[in-house]
Structure 1
Amino acid sequence: FRYQEIVADAGYESEENYLFLEKNGQSSFIKPMNYEISKTRKYKKDIGKMENMEYDPEKDSYRCQNRKMLTVQYQRKQKTATGYLRTVTVYQCHECKGCTFKEKCIKGNNCKTPMEKREKRLYVSKVMKQKREENVKRIISEYGNQLRMNRSIQAEGSFANVKEDMNFRRYLYRGKENVTAQSVILAIGYNINKLHHKIQNGRTGQHLFALKK
């Protein structure tokens, strides 16, 4: 048996994970790292963000607030902690001199280059961008919302039930084997209790809680 839909929180989003799931024939329902902040007014009005710039797929270029072009300069490889190699495309604008939007567009107070000499750059992983866009379409669908709601209930709610309802606050034994054995017994007890409630409420064939209408 293999789960077809993988639901996870923002901490699990990465290009490597997206490709891993795709290779295994599974669909990702992962909340993007910038999902919550991207809905804020401040984020949407940040003219320096790639997401707020106009992209031309034919010319493979971005257009900034001042209608200047950011074109491809070069590509570079980046290696993650797990050894995965990803390709980053660098876009740059060469018409930033005298731009009235410069201070709002170019960020980074630690840069030693004076602001008047700096030019806008974007570092874009095209694979990550594509996979994130595909993933967002899934998670904002009705089924995606239902899966994410159930992840919150089943993952976060389980800790609350074990700690509060079952009053399990600490392990009674030491050592990995003993802790594992106690964890398994605890999980069996929790699952039997959950099954009992499902039988009592007539929900044995229902795997997901329905969204409230």
Structure 2
Amino acid sequence: MIFIIFTIYLIASTKSISKTGYESVKAIYICEDCSNCNYKSQCIKGNNSKIPLEKRTKKFETSKKFNRQRKEDLERIITDEGILLRMNRSIQAEGSFAQVKHDMNFKRFMCRGQKNVLAESILLAIAHNVNKLHNKIQYNRTGKHLFALKEA
């Protein structure tokens, strides 16, 4: 077995802010030399580049904060409680759409435009949640799950 060691350098760090105000910092790394790499054709994508494959080097971006948050989320959802909640979430999510469409007789949005549709969908969600809360209070089910939690 042959091990090839490549040197990877940090060349830049970029900071961007999304429309929602989320601030992300990405580190850009580049491989020093990819000429002797056996996996170069699999690693470097894109056939439409003007630079020939022999002269290209691998360049990639990564966000340390995003990777850390993703690892924490993965650890949370693979716990026993996370598995139970995911199983039960899949059961409950589809019912909400059915109740809104059938019980509340919602067929289409009455307004046009992204802001108006967003406002109408928020009002619809509030109405749905108030209706659910009303039913829970009537049947004395507050503080309980809709269905008994299943075991994984």
Whether these two folds match at TM > 0.5 is yes
| Cα deviation code 1:156-183 (max 9, x no counterpart) | 321123334x27243797797xx68x84
Q: Assess if the C-alpha contact under 8 Å between 2:29 and 2:61 holds in 1.
A: yes
1:52 matched residue in structure 2: none
2:58 aligns with 120
For 1:111 and 1:70, locate their aligned partners in 2 and report how far apart those are by CA, in whole Å: 22
CA distance in 1, matches of 2:14, 2:29: 12
Which one of the candidate residues 155, 158, 170 is aligned to 2:107? 170
Which residue does the alignment assign to 1:211? 150
Q: Which has the larger radius of gyration?
A: 2
CA change 1:193–1:109 in 2 (3 A) is farther
CA 111–156 in structure 1, closer or farther in 2 if over 3 Å, else same: farther
Query: C-alpha distance in 2, partners of 1:110/1:145?
Result: 44
How many residues align structurally?
141
Q: CA deviation at 1:91?
A: 1.5
Distance 2:58 2:50 in 1: 15
Match of 1:111 in 2: 49
For structure 1, list consecutive stretches of 5 or more residues without a partner in the other structure.
Answer: 1-64
How far did 1:137 drift?
0.5
Counterpart-to-counterpart distance in 2, 1:107 and 1:173: 46
Match of 1:134 in 2: 72
In structure 1, distance between residues paired with 2:109 and 2:10: 60
Write the deviation string for residues 97-150 of structure 1: whole angstroms up to 9, x where unpaired: 132210111113343321111101221111111111111111111112223334
Tell me the TM-score normalised to structure 1 length: 0.52
| Contact 2:101–2:107 (8 Å) recurs in 1 | no
Give the Å deviation of 1:211: 2.8
Percent same amino acid among aligned pairs? 37
Letter aligned with residue 212 of structure 1: E
The residue type paired with residue 132 of structure 1 is: R
Return closer, same or farther for 1:77/1:102 CA change in 2, 3 Å cut-off. Answer: same
Q: Give the Å deviation of 1:205.
A: 4.6
Q: Which residue of 2 aligns with 1:16?
A: none
Distance in 2 separating the partners of 1:148 and 1:204: 21
Contact preservation (8 Å) 1:96, 1:118 = yes
1:4-50 CA-to-partner distances (Å, cap 9, x unmatched) read: xxxxxxxxxxxxxxxxxxxxxxxxxxxxxxxxxxxxxxxxxxxxxxx
Paired residue for 2:9, among 62, 71, 94? 71
| Equivalent residue letter for 2:145 | H
Return the alpha-carbon distance in structure 2 between the equivalents of residues 118 and 84 of structure 1.
Answer: 33
- 8 Å Cα contact 2:31/2:57 also seen in 1: yes
Partners of 2:127 and 2:58 in 1: how far apart? 57
Paired residues of 2:27 and 2:61 also in contact (CA < 8 A): yes
Match in the other structure for 1:22? none
Q: Which runs of 5+ in 2 are unaligned?
A: none
TM-score (norm. length: structure 2): 0.68
